[in-house]
Amino acid sequence: MIDWQQARQLQHDVGKDEMVEVVELFLSEVDEAIETLQKTYDEMSASDRSAAFHFLKGCASNLGFQAFGVQCGQGEEATKSGQEPEFGVADLVNLYTRSKQQFTQEYATELG
């Protein structure tokens, strides 16, 4: 679910101390974007949905949330073409929650 190699590379690029800030910012921004999707998905245009999925995909890719990033990419592609993703917002939230839990539980072991 987590690409720890990507997370290690990011930590190498930004530094160990700064990584804590990057993770906090990431989680805060993704939490906010997920909340917005939950509240407004049905009212969003296809373009806005695609942009939201694109934003989430980028955040996920940077930090190594691999499975979540893949699902966001699928959502982006589907909504770009005017389709609905094969998953619901609740499924996306569930995957993000599980990914976040795994990341926070294994962070100290994997990234020191």
pTM check: above 0.85 = yes
**Average pLDDT per run of 10 along the chain, which is 112 residues long?**
96 95 94 96 96 96 96 97 95 97 95 88
Identify the pLDDT of residue 83.
95
Hey, how many other C-beta atoms are within 10 angstroms of the C-beta on 57? 21
Q: How confident is the model at residue 112, as a pLDDT? A: 85
